[in-house]
Amino acid sequence: MPAGRPRQFDPSAALTQAMELFWARGYEATSLQELLGATGLSRSSLYQTFGGKHDLFERCLERYREMVVDSMWQRLEQAPSGRAFIEDSLRRTLAEQRVPGGPRGCLVLNTANEFGHRDPPITERVRAGVDSFRDVFTEAVRRGQADGSIRSRGDPHRLAAYIVAGMGGLRTLVKADEGQDHVRDALDMLLLALDHD
């Protein structure tokens, strides 16, 4: 590349590469050097384009949320029933147990656990992510109650909050490398609530 000519790069692709890295390793464990390696950016391009590691991470959280929430709505539209969508969503967390390199979990829930409340702009994005997940599950419960796949007549908002908590708990057990039988026990019991009043 001729000296003096700015390197061309695709900010959207760089964002995706950075997101993958943060997702796999977490914020603190990801070094600037690794981010530069993964994105192919120079240090100055990264700062000029994204404003530094922290701002880049906020953008990655937002990108992740859009990607996951879009995919959830799509899967809900294609699911044979409201219940099938919920079961599928929870079972996916278990499949991660056998992924090479270990389970990454969910970037939003990982970040909740890593940061807690110590960085308000990050916490704000995490809460927005969890709220979006809850919205999808609320609609899934409504549909399941309407299509007869969910027998519980419980408030969809309450059931959705419970499902998001269950999802977070299953992900934690998988990351703790708990025995598959224990994780499956927890999953089976979580689903029972869909059948109770």
3-class secondary-structure state, position 79: coil
**Does residue 188 bind its own copies (CB under 8 A)?**
yes
Task: Please report whether residue 86 would count as binding its own copies according to CB under 8 A.
Answer: no
Tokens of 87: 């079961």
Q: Are 93 and 174 in contact (CB under 8 A)?
A: yes
**Cα Rg of the chain (Å, integer):** 19
Nearer to its own copies, 17 or 138 (CB): 138
Q: How far is the CB of 124 from its own copies (least distance, A)?
A: 8
Q: Are 114 and 27 in contact (CB under 8 A)?
A: yes
Cα→Cα distances 17→10, 13, 85, 138, Å = 11, 6, 29, 31
- Decide whether 7 or 118 has the Cβ nearer to its own copies: 118
Among 14, 56, 72, 105, binds its own copies (CB under 8 A): 105
Name the minimum Å distance from CB 182 to its own copies: 4
Report if residue 164 touches its own copies, rule: CB under 8 A. Answer: yes
Dmax over Cα atoms in the chain, in whole Å?
Answer: 70
Residue 192, interface with its own copies (CB under 8 A)? yes
Binding of its own copies by 127 (CB under 8 A): yes
Interacting residues toward its own copies by CB under 8 A: 25-26, 28-29, 101-105, 108-110, 112-118, 123, 126-127, 129-131, 134, 154-155, 157-159, 161-162, 164-173, 175-178, 182-183, 185-186, 188-190, 192-193, 196
